Amino acid sequence: MESVQATKQRFGIIGNDQKLNRAVEKAIQVAPTDISVLVTGESGVGKESIPKIIHSLSHRKHGKYIAVNCGAIPEGTIDSELFGHEKGAFTGATQTRSGYFEVASGGTIFLDEVGELPLTTQVRLLRVLENGEFIKVGSSKVQKTDVRIVAATNVNMFEAIKKEKFREDLYYRLSTVEILLPPLRDREGDIHLLFRKFASDFATKYKMPTIRLTEDAVALLEKYHWSGNIRQLRNIAEQISVLEQDRTIDSHTLHSYLPNMGSNLPAVISSDKKESDFSNEREILYKVLFDMKGDLNDLKKLTMELMQSGNTQDVQKEHEGLIRKIYREDKKEELQFEDAPTTTEVLQIPSPSTPLKEEDKYHFAEEIEEEETLSLHDKELELIKKSLERHRGKRKAAAEELGISERTLYRKIKQYDL
């Protein structure tokens, strides 16, 4: 088995970080097998190096190696690119075409940005992983392929699964072995090493002296957050190599090339703000409805106690907090209890001297019981009905308004027999 150091030299991987070495070691260990591998890590960490190591050290090294950027292929043509199509399968399909899975049979396919695959394509890919079968677009003939799949993503897969943007079963098929590449900011000892390598490469490329950093510039370089990782570091090295006349770079000069140097704190930005906002509004609405239901039930019980006991003062004292809550002048300042109208005046109940008819007691109790049985099921059903009516039965628009997927809405429609 090839050593980690020899593999890094062979593939031009710079650095001695322990996490990086562990990632390379795992790639070497899984290479002789045919199990699928998922490479994870932030954008710009060099994930494309791992599938090359796996392919070159496997028994498929003489077969084809095809790298596919799933995020760069339009949704309408990705099935054709991966699995091929028959002549006349769609407008513009003037001849039969072989897809990557057919061409790379016996070799390795690297699916970069696999988290961007459409759900329909994910189903097709799952079938390839399970039994090596696929069907061309516009064909009914099942074909076989013998291909090793290595995938990579910078997406949080568990969040994508939670939002129903990625199939959970496909994730577990792809990630038989998961290899995580650390971000550059966690490889502090490798940052200057990488910078020197890039500076040397650009000096050779542009036929000029190599730039060098002063000690304070090195300290600044290693303290920076590097949100773009190795790709960002390489770009900075190239800019300085081309633009700076003085080949010795101090911290002041380096500072001018580092964006957002004033704050290295990572910004937290919602990936789906619209959906999150609507979800929060819906939760608040449900809470308000249930609070109103609780207040109404408390009010009815209080009224029932007053009707049955006839002792207004004792009941009023016992439920002082509830009466304060219900009657306020505004949302900020509660009405003083001594200024509140009497319970009898407010609730407009019969005087204790006027006995409550027996049938009225039963009727009032039934109303309380009916109110208490109100469930989330009823509210959900009511919201779905109103949304569908508002959008004239258009499920997609209704689903967006309700903050759920169209598939979930379709299931609810069948469940409630709407």
Same domain for 27 and 14, yes or no, is yes
> Over the stretch 19-56, which tens digit does the pLDDT of each residue have?
999 999 999 999 999 999 999 999 999 999 999 999 99
Element (H, E) at 133: strand 133-135
Task: Identify the pLDDT of residue 283.
Answer: 67
CA distances from 267 to 40, 190, 271 (A): 21, 24, 12
Residue 225 and residue 127 share a domain: no
pLDDT given for residue 25 in this prediction: 96
Write down the pLDDT at residue 319.
59
Residue 281 has a pLDDT of 66
Q: What is the pLDDT of residue 286?
A: 67
pLDDT for residue 269: 46
pLDDT recorded at residue 399: 80
pLDDT tens for 198-207 read 999 999 999 9
Domain presence at residue 332 = no
What pLDDT score was predicted for residue 121? Answer: 95
Clarify whether residues 171 and 207 are in a common domain.
no
The DSSP-derived string for 253-284 is HHHHHSTTTT--SPP---TTHHHHHHHHHHHH
14, 197 contact by CB (below 8 A): yes
pLDDT reported for residue 332: 42
SS3 label, residue 4: helix
Instruction: Please give the Cα distance from 146 to 144 (Å, whole number).
Output: 7
DSSP symbol at 226: -
pLDDT of residue 412: 78
Domain CATH code at residue 75:
3.40.50.300
- Count of the separate structural domains present in the chain: 2
The token duo for 38 is 């998922």
State residue 177's pLDDT score: 96
> What per-residue confidence (pLDDT) applies to 159?
94
Beta carbons of 11 and 52 less than 8 angstroms apart = yes
Give yes or no: residues 240 and 100 share one domain.
no
**Where do we find the tokens 């258009």?**
394
Work out whether strand 248-249 and strand 212-213 pair parallel, antiparallel, or are unpaired. Answer: parallel
Closest CA to 194 of 166, 160, 218, 167: 218
Considering 119, 149, 182, which residue would you say is the last residue of a domain?
182
- Predicted local confidence at residue 76, as pLDDT: 86
User: Domain ends where: 144, 160, 182?
Assistant: 182
CATH code, 253: 1.10.8.60
**Computed from CA positions of residues 211, 212, 218, 222, in that sequence, does the dihedral angle turn out positive or negative?**
positive
Name the stretches of the chain with pLDDT < 50. 262-273, 329-354, 356, 361, 364, 368-374
